[in-house]
Amino acid sequence: MLITPTAGATDKIIRLTSGEFAPLMSVKIKHRGLISHIVEEAAALSGYRVHYSFFPWKRAYVMAKSGYWDGSVAWGYTEEREKYFAYSAPIFPEHVYLYHRKHYAFDWQEEADLEGIKLGVNRGYLDEYMLQQMQKRGLQINYQATTTELQNFRALIGGRVDIVISNRLIAERILRKHFDEQERGNIVRHSRPFRVTSLHVLISREIEQTDEYISAFNQGLERLHQSGRYDELITDFENGAYD
């Protein structure tokens, strides 16, 4: 789905792919979510407007990697991705946790604690990549990848997986919107994060404007912070403006 924000006729255009990551990014909510809004406003401060197109996450990545689209939002850092993309300054800190059923005996202190457990994760997310790296290091990691967070939590409620790996803000929204009080009461978030990751705009190295777009976006993001507008958007989000 292609979405074009309104802007002045002289503004230049950056074409970015994205995926469903509500309430942070989604075609179904105001401003297409908090992160989409941050990216759009930062770009506008440097004289650019953003064309978004939402795809399944793996396709969003491939379309941007090839240069068919200019880039993608929003991704954590990996060495593999850096081969194909330039990274913007951090746009948002992502806090990801492990969720399990209330009476499931589990503790999370090191990677080996995940061995022998049925894990649920979203396909194409950094979390899946991290699990794959654990497998390469010889750990017995068993996971199933789905296309939505909701599928993962339904699998958790139904006992088809033991642990779901999820962004805290997204998990809270899904549990609140799709499950009743009894079901929510049966889900526990482990206190130790699975990861805390800075999310970025990625610009493909296959296009001529890679450095131009990164520089423009970073300058706009800095102005967004300096003006206090970034903090204002975060406060709006916390007050439910993007629900």
Residue 23 domain flag = yes
Helices 34-45 and 210-226, axial angle in degrees (round to 10): 100
Residue 188 domain flag = yes
CATH number at residue 225: 3.40.190.10
Q: What is the pLDDT of residue 7?
A: 45
* pTM value > 0.85: no
* CB of 95 closer than 8 Å to CB of 193: yes
Are 73 and 153 contained in the same domain? no
The answer on pLDDT for 113 being more than 60 is yes
Residue 15 domain flag = yes
pLDDT digits (tens, 9 = 90+) for 124-162: 888 999 999 999 999 999 999 998 889 999 999 999 999
Say how many domains are in the chain.
2
The answer on pLDDT for 192 being more than 50 is yes
Are 120 and 79 contained in the same domain? no
Are 165 and 102 contained in the same domain? yes
Are 52 and 85 contained in the same domain? yes
Residue 116 domain flag = yes
Are 108 and 185 contained in the same domain? yes
Sort 182 into a burial class: Cβ within 10 Å, 0-12 / 13-18 / 19+.
exposed
Q: What are phi and psi of 34, to 5 degrees?
A: -60, -50
Residue 243 domain flag = no
Tell me the percentage of the chain whose pLDDT exceeds 70.
95
* CB of 220 closer than 8 Å to CB of 42: yes
Residue 144 domain flag = yes
